[in-house]
Each structure stands twice: as structure tokens, then as C-alpha cells.
Amino acid sequence: MKERKEIEKQLPQSPPPPYHVLHKLPPGDSPYVRAKHVQLVDKDPDAAIVLFWKAINAGDRIDSALKDMAVVMKQQDRTEEAIEAIKSFRDRCSKQAQESLDNVLIDLYKKCGRIDEQIQLLKQKLRMIYEGEAFNGKPTKTARSHGKKFQVTIKQETSRILGNLGWAYMQQENYLAAEAVYRKAQIIDPDANKACNLCQCLIKQARYLEAESVLEYVVHDKLPGSSDPKSRNRVKELRQELESRQPVALASTAIELNLEDAFLEGLDQLMSQWAPYRSRRLPIFEEISSFRDQLAC
């Protein structure tokens, strides 16, 4: 062992990574690079916002500067200011940046409780998918989470957006609308998180037996993410809530959903393209087709 250590000491050592790589900074010395340095190294968000403004005004990497500034503003509870900044300067950004700016804007609307605007933007993104304009016309896009890159498909993105739309309807206590889009999301790309949200939605409607049935898919590990600790904790919470209530069978009702025809048919056609051998009208559309007049989309 001693000889091995001595040999290792004599071997040439690899040079340390460059400063910008070590701190995950873009190379160079421009207004945007200085803003990122203040944000990531100096940890001074207020000063970083000022420098991001300077980068935008100087035309230096406007796409990244605007998005990064909005994210820092959100962290500083300057949400309304971030929304106005994106609306004011997004026309100076590239076409490729518009989709990511929409995602930031949706998060900002969610944080400050502007649910109606969040819903409209989510529906706009769904229409873009149907019209083939999402992902800049490509079938997948590269996303990043916790420093790791991964590929996202159109199906996954559609299901994610529908899940967010369901959450927004839940905030408005429009549980029938939330149920409709949660079920549609599960048809496209099912997972445990959306199943738990659908369960919560059914509980809100006092449809406890149906809620228990949906939850069983997570309990028996039949959906992606079922074994995740967060999912397990959520299942425990939902089961406790169900056990505290008297099960009630679903009664037939004449309630109308009012799901906008164009919106409904657009998603119907998109999903039929993904599953050409299924009937044109998928089960979820049959289920909600008699409920169209009260679901505000």
C-alpha cells in the first residue's frame, strides 16, 4: 500500500477545472456572465437582478438573462414584477426561448394566485401541441432537473400540462373540470402523483368509493412513481381522509361540465393520433360528453 501511494504521488496531477466550470458559469466577461457570477458565487440576488437588467438592455444573451432574472425575482417574492418583465421583453427573445418563458410564466401565475391567467396559458400550450408547434416542431425536447439532462416526449409534456391544468381547476374548486383533465392526463401518461390528485378531486366531490378505487392503483404499485416516498406519504394521508368519511356511492346526476367543444375535440384528435387502433372517442370523452355546459375552459 505504501509503495502504491508513493507511486500515485509521483504521477502528474490533473489540473483543476477552469473557474467558470467549477462554479457552473458561462465563460467570458459580459454583463450576463457578471450577473451569473453575482447570482451563483456571491449569492446576492438583488445585485444579480440589477445586472440581469443591464444584460437585457445591452442585448447580451437576452433569452437566458430574462428567464434567469424572472426566476431570481420569484425567489425574492417579486412575482408580479417578474411577470411584467417577461411580458415586456419576451418580444426581444428568440422563437426558441418562448416555450421556456411560458413555463416560467405559468409558475409565476401559480405562485401569485393568478389562476385564470395560468389556465389560459396552459390551454394555449395544449393548442400548440395539437397544432404541432410545441418543442419547435420536434418530437422530443431536452429538459434539465437537478443538473441532469433528460428527454421529454410530446406525450409526457401533454400529460404534465393537463396535470397542471387539473391543479388550477382544483384551486377554483371546479372539481368536475379537474377530474376531466386528470383522467385525460392518466390516459396519456399515467403516474402516481396524478392518480393521488384525482383521488383528492373525487374526495372533494364526496365520491369516496371511486376515490378508493383510484388510490388502489398506487397502493399496489401499478403506476410509475408508486414506490416514491412522497407518493407513499400521500397515500397514507388520502387513506386517512377516506377512513374518516362515510363511503358514498356515486349517484347519477344531470350536471353539465361545459368543456369547450374545440378544446375537447382537439385533445380527442391528438390522442387518437397516438393510439390509432382505439376508437376515435376515448373512454374519458364518453364519460364527460354529457357534462359539457358547466366546465369553463
Q: What is the CATH number of the domain that holds 37?
A: 1.25.40
Question: Residue 225 falls within a domain, yes or no?
Answer: no
Question: Residue 280 falls within a domain, yes or no?
Answer: no
Query: How far is residue 238's CA from residue 215's CA, in Å, rounded to a whole number?
Result: 8
Question: Residue 32 falls within a domain, yes or no?
Answer: yes
Question: Residue 52 falls within a domain, yes or no?
Answer: yes
DSSP state of 24: T
Residues 247-283: pLDDT tens digits? 554 443 434 455 555 565 666 666 665 543 333 333 3
Question: Residue 25 falls within a domain, yes or no?
Answer: yes
Residues 176-207: pLDDT tens digits? 999 999 999 999 999 999 999 999 999 999 99
Residues 127-147: pLDDT tens digits? 988 888 888 778 888 877 666
pTM value is 0.75
Question: Residue 203 falls within a domain, yes or no?
Answer: no
What's the mean pLDDT in 31-43? Answer: 92
Question: Residue 80 falls within a domain, yes or no?
Answer: yes
Number of domains in the chain: 1
Question: Residue 144 falls within a domain, yes or no?
Answer: no
Instruction: Determine the structural domain holding residue 91 and report its residue range.
Output: 19-113
